[in-house]
Structure 1
């Protein structure tokens, strides 16, 4: 379930542009980060991304397995350009021995590549036994 979301298992968002502070730091809500809570142990994790916009866009996609000890593992770092209604499945990613996954984090969009600003997408995570 997404953290802070409606409790659904799929999240739909639009990539927002960052607001830039006078010293050049990105501020404000960009909709880049979404955390999915993991409430039990799974053997593998599959991550899904689907483009929702009517025009093609480049989406920088990063994803992380976040562990209960505060560490994380980046499992996705790709730039994809899917047609509307299609996307990508990432994984399956095996659970890390000795670690407990507490969240799966998606980061869509980046200030270094603003080409996806304004475009919408759908993401979800599936834990598999």
Structure 2
């Protein structure tokens, strides 16, 4: 059995269906739709847990990775895997992260996020300002 070598779809959107939003309380949901493909361009089924391991939220402009949320280490912006998300069966695979903003760090209040996908044995694919894909979301913290 082969493996996935690329993606035919890579989009990022807020769980509200919008591309811009305000944080609700201290977090906002970001949904990533990703369709893995094999070397012939055919859709390839990848376990959702493996997609979570392969996908990272990034700063859309500079490509820097958004750190994972930690209760013990305060970061201005971070993410955590959504615990309440069930993708729609039979549709493009989706994963969801909750983006958090720590009010203790009063830095940049608006960020635009994209996605980095680590494809097995290949160069990473990006949805970023300089990436192959251009999908992004903009989040404002108040």
Structure 1-normalised TM-score? 0.39
Q: Which is richer in strand?
A: 1
Q: Which gives a bigger RCO, structure 1 or 2 (Cα 8 Å, sep 6+)?
A: 1
TM-score using structure 2 length: 0.36
